[in-house]
Structures are given as structure tokens and as C-alpha cells.
Amino acid sequence: MRVVLVRPTHPGNIGACARAMKTMGLTRLCLVAPSRFPSAEATAMAAGADDVLYHAGVHASLPEALAGSGLVVGTSARRRGIAWPEAGPRAAATEVLDAARHGEVALVFGPEHSGLANTEIESCQLMVCIPTAPDFSSLNLAAAVQIMAYEVRQAALDEGPMSPRTEARSATAEQLEQLYTHLEEALVAVGFLDRAKPGRLMHRLKRLFNRARLDQNELNILRGFLAAVQGREKGSG
């Protein structure tokens, strides 16, 4: 299980997040384009979680940070134009724990002031909105990490020791991106999608497949179907 901080602006928040993670037994931290890291301020705020910072991965992009992950859970304080599959922290923690039995899981948190961009949310199969007072919804980044880390730990303690499952592994984030690219190419080939006027079709289709939580067998079936469609289109041309 990894915690991914996207474009964090304050090094102190990175350190506080590392501390929040370690108190709940999480140690894998990934940073996407941090403003300042490493930093003495981050180390000071980590308050003993220096090892989490030392082993933190620094990545240029979110897809790079998500490499190898199956379930990707994003957090957001605001609703979007197109609703995304959503759960509260407690329900999401149960899903995270279940997914961790047979694949890697990423918990993604956006920048302090703006949150995740819509294009970044498309990489998430599930969104979590932490319920706050309606008249003051501002939540510190480390506090959000602490809440999610606590809920995951509590779910694990309630369930007891985990044993790996034998079912097919979840499709990884990069495999899903390859599927979306393939799907877009096939839709263009059959004349269903006009790249000059794409609208929100691909956004909605990504939402559909994120809800489905494809495993690798299902993804391979879809990729095979798309390849057959493209082959037939070429043959008819």
C-alpha cells in the first residue's frame, strides 16, 4: 500500500504526512513533483518518521507514481461536474483492505490548495470525500492522510490477519491507461468518436471502467475485442 502526494507545496506537510503514516503502520510514500524535497522542515515535522522520508519515491508524474498499482483511491473535498464512484473513509478502507489481498493499492492526495485535477481523478477507480462541517470544509493534508491511514488500520484490526486470494489480479493503473488509449483508437476507427470534437465521451467511459474494477483477465478480453474491431475495420477499408 502506498500513499501518493501530488504536487505538495509545503515540505512541513510532507513530514507531517510521513508521521501520520508511520503511526498507522504505513511506510511507502510517493511524491509527485514536490515543490521542495528533501527538506529540513520535512524532517523536523516527521518527528521520528525519518525512515519514511528517506525511502520516499519522487516521481515526475502521477502515472509514474502509480506504476504497478491495482486499486487507486483518490481524495477530494469537492464534487465534480461528472460524478465519480465515491465512498466515505470507512467504506473505502474496507475496499482498500480487500484489494490489498491480491494487488497493490495507492491512496492519492492532491495539492494543499487546489486538490486533484480532473485529469488526475480519471486515474482513480474510487473517490473519497471526508465529511466535514459544511461551513468550514478546509482539511489539512496531513490530517486527511491521518484519517485515511487510521480507517485502513482499523479495518485491518477488525478483520484480523489477511491471507492472499487466488482470484485474478486487478488491472494496474498503467494497464488501464493502455486500455483507454486502445479504446479511443478503436472508437475513432469506427467513426464513433471525433477527435476534433471529443466532448466528454472518454471521461465518461473511464468512469464506467473505473466502476467496473477490471481484473487482468477482463482487461485482456476487452483488448482482444478492440483489436478484432480494428482488424475488421481495416479489412473493410
Q: How do the domains of the chain map onto residue ranges?
A: 2-159, 173-236
Q: Class of 2-159 per CATH?
A: alpha beta
Q: Which of 21-35, 101-115, 198-212 holds the top average pLDDT?
A: 21-35
- What integer pLDDT is reported at residue 236 of this predicted model? 66
- Which residue in 60, 85, 82 sits closest to 72, CA to CA? 85
Residues 230 and 192: their CA atoms lie apart, in Å, by 13
DSSP 171: P
Query: 173-236 has which fold?
Result: Helicase, Ruva Protein; domain 3 (1.10.8)
How far CA 13 is from CA of 7, 40, 106, 111, in Å, comes to 11, 12, 19, 10
Grid cell digits, residue 24: 498507522
Give 113-128 pLDDT, tens digit per residue.
888 998 899 999 999 9
Indicate whether 23 pLDDT > 90: yes
Give residue 160's pLDDT.
Answer: 66
219 residue type, one letter: L
Q: Which is more confident, 169 or 166? A: 169
30: its cell numbers: 510517493
- pLDDT confidence of residue 133: 87
Contact between 46 and 31 under an 8 Å Cβ cutoff? The reply is no
pLDDT band at 78 (very low <50, low <70, confident <90, very high): low
| Residue showing cell 485529469 | 119
| 83 or 151: which leads in pLDDT | 151
What is the pTM for the complete model shown?
0.78
Q: At residue 79, does pLDDT exceed 80?
A: no
